[in-house]
Amino acid sequence: MDQVVNYQCPACSRTLSFRSESGKLSCDYCSSEFEVSVVEQLNADRAQVAAQAADADPQWDLSRAGGEWDAAEMSNIRAYTCPACAAGIIADETTAATSCPYCGNNSILTANLSGQLKPDYIIPFKHNKKTAMGLLKNFYEGKKLLPKNFSEANHIEEIRGVYAPFWLFDAELEADMRFRAEKSLTYIKGNYDVTETKHFRITRQGTVAFEKLPVDGSSKMPDELMDSIEPFTYDELKPFSTVYLPGFLAEKYNQDAEASRKRANARINVSVARAFADSAKGYTKVRNEYASILPQKSSVKYALMPVWMLSTKWKGKVFLFAMNGQTGKLMGDLPVDWGRFWTGMAKITLTLTAIFTGVMFFIFR
């Protein structure tokens, strides 16, 4: 008997107290009264659903994610490993993989594909290198505090086309969510400002389906950066073939589907909660009170997505840029040349000082 049970009011979620005179549970906040049997059943139902939710982590069907490389494909492609950052790169036999697109290291070692799955799908590159360079130049344009070596043409030419590994999750889930909502109205009554607040309980239930939810299978690419260049258009998703590899690199996944499923679950839960919460319109405030998202069906596929990448260093820090090779969406962080910044500030200060001195001379002459 070391567990403390807190019975909550079904109307406002405040604590209930037992009233001996009525034999019922009463809420001191909203004055609602409930039969003991009703509250006991509600509490039991809540505990049961909470237990189900705790065990709701989907056990994804990983058996259909990827396939086996055949002998002909193995003879026409090469695998490389970067000794600096351990990134695994796949290329056709004619591609000279002389630098790593993730860290810029020029020493690449030949590896093998043993134990690696063959992708199920691929989205071919739609934007060529010339287009990628032009978009990157536009991205740099007007950024006066950017270090010079970032905007130099020979540096921009180092952008590389890489097929990034993605796990595509299909799922069907049963969702049950409850929200606590408020509507507030403020008005003047006599000499007082009165705020009237009404409280509501909102319930949402339904079946939610996800198709090809993407989760990148590379720890070398920051998840936030890879998420930011989504979405990819699945209309152009093709069955995988090595015919799309010549002229490009392809990274080997280093996070398998099992390791990626937790992130898939998190993305699913956030999307479901947001969709259900967005359906509660017309309230001043809405907060999540309870959520149960239970998987019904789930499976995973393996795909390669086109990404133009540029990795560069500035004062010991690696800056990574990524562009969606299908849509052209480009994202990345830019360093600040503080030498340029303070030089510019000094020039502004000298200019303002000269103007102020001239004005004062004119006033007091």
Give me the residue spans of the domains in the chain.
1-55, 71-173+202-334, 338-365
Closest among 298, 278, 297 to 288, alpha carbons compared = 278
Which is nearest to 43 in space by CA: 72, 82, 15, 74? Answer: 15
CB 263 within 8 A of CB 215: yes
H/E run at residue 232: none
Q: How confident is the model at residue 121 (pLDDT cuts 50, 70, 90)?
A: very high
Label residue 345 by pLDDT band (50, 70, 90). very low
Q: Please tell me whether the overall predicted TM-score, pTM, comes out greater than 0.85 for this model.
A: no
CB 283 within 8 Å of CB 200: yes
Tell me the per-residue pLDDT of 242-280, one tens digit each, with 9 for 90 and over.
788 877 888 888 888 888 888 888 888 888 888 888 888
50-54, 294-298, 339-343 — most confident range: 294-298
Beta bridge partners of 165: 304
Q: What does the pLDDT look like over 61-98, one tens digit per residue? A: 666 677 777 777 766 677 777 777 777 777 666 554 55
Instruction: Using alpha carbons, list the distances in angstroms from residue 83 to 86, 104, 114, 314.
Output: 5, 11, 18, 20
| Terminal C-alpha separation, the chain | 91
